[in-house]
A and B are shown apart, each in its own frame.
Chain A
Amino acid sequence: MRTVLCLGGTGQFGLPIARHLVGDPVVDRVIVAGRDLEKAQTAAATLGPNGLARQVDADDDASLAAAMDGVSVVLSTLWSAEGRAARVARAAVAAGAHYVELNHDAPDADLDAAARGAGVALLRRVGASPGVTDLCARYALEALDEPQVLLTMRHWTRLLDFWTDLLDTYVELPGGVDAGRWAAA
């Protein structure tokens, strides 16, 4: 049974990811996890029969361990992790589950070694940026036998407009910007 546990699965990033995953043939179950069980149940109900809900407290090791039992992949979309990311990642490795997160957590050599020992992947910086943009940079580098300079160009004015519009979009969502944070997940 290939199960993905989505921590922050009720949030603005977590739920769209869960919707993709629940329709993926390599995924058997998607568990939407959050501190608020009622919100998790509401979100999971939109996923169909393979969507489940679970109450999880990411600040509690026992709660994390119980939620990760039997899980194949732990996906974390928690924002403003403030140390939670490392806690959640450690719990995933201890549970023998692969770990995927959107955040840019600081490198942790011990955690890296533990993940290698457990035979699981510990993927950071996944998503559109920097994930996809990092892929693009590598793809450009691979085109040359002897790459010498990588120039990453961003057109500030275009991106300013984009991010401003995006922020406006977030604010208009129920709960505003805070709806994407852990507290709401």
Chain B
Amino acid sequence: MLRDACVAPFFLTLVGDPNRWLATVPDLRDGVIVDVDALVEGLDVSPLVGSPRRERPLVATERPAQADGIRRVDATATGMGAAFDDAVRAGARRVAAGGEVGAEVAALEAAVARDPLAYLRPAAEVSALPAAAFVVLGRNGGVPVRASVQLPDALFVPDRYLDTTAAAVAVTVRYVLDGTVEVRGAATMDAAVRDMERFGRDYLALMGPELAGLDLYSRRVDAA
């Protein structure tokens, strides 16, 4: 918990428009800041975490446009809670009204330092969040839908992580040898491995009996 409070100030970069503010991190400064409020409008992500508000990401960048025209946004939810969101919003509004960004950031840092627990998500809430999830917005048959894929937290266990990667590599090498991977020349794993269901089965088979039967991807499609 204290670690969250210590690193929180590094996330703070207020953007003047109160309707387009976001916090960001130095590593992501080269990205395009995204209006997440608009992006997630109509997106009920409650199947993932139970609460759209909790899921709303605080950090987001948009990758450069690709030929397929699909917008790709990387979002990171932090350990900060609703009170922190509200404080940042309030600060952003003051900046938009002529306030000084540095002063707002300093004031928020000081407030967090005085009472970090008031600004953090409860630990139980954080532990209920998935470590990684993929959400796609779009249409099926002209109807707005969203698809989500969530990696199981069982993979994100330090003692298991080496084998998490080892199994993925071993299956890929097998596919190269048995001809399942047909691509020639340079390719990434997502371009080379086409049958996800089979990959999931083969992958989990190497991960040991404790993960047997696990839904590796947990894909679902819901009306948007």
Contacts and interface: CB of A to CB of B under 8 A. Distances in A.
B181 A16 contact: no
Given A13-B166, A108-B186, A121-B185, A140 B137 contact: no
Contacts, number: 267
Interface string A107-135: 11001110110011111111111111111
Interface string B158-195: 11011111111110111011100101111111101100
Given A73-B173, A102-B169, A154-B131, A121 B75 contact: no
Interface stretch (B91-99, B100-108, B145-153): B145-153
Interface stretch (B13-21, B65-73, B82-90): B65-73
A145 B138 contact: yes
B121 A157 contact: yes
B113 interface: no
Contact of B217 (A27, A116, A139): A139
Interface residues of A, number: 72
Contact of A135 (B48, B74, B133, B190): B190
Interface string A144-159: 1111111111111111
Given A115-B186, A121-B181, A148 B137 contact: yes
Given A153-B133, A156-B77, A162-B131, 11 more contacts: A17-B169, A75-B169, A77-B169, A107-B186, A132-B168, A140-B149, A140-B219, A149-B138, A150-B73, A152-B75, A160-B3
Top 3 A-B residue pairs of the complex, sorted by shortest distance between their CB atoms: A157-B79, A20-B170, A16-B166
Interface of B: 3-4, 7, 39-40, 48, 55, 57, 59, 70-79, 121, 126-127, 129-141, 145, 147-149, 151, 153, 155-156, 158-159, 161-170, 172-174, 176-178, 181, 183-190, 192-193, 196, 199, 203, 206, 217, 219, 221
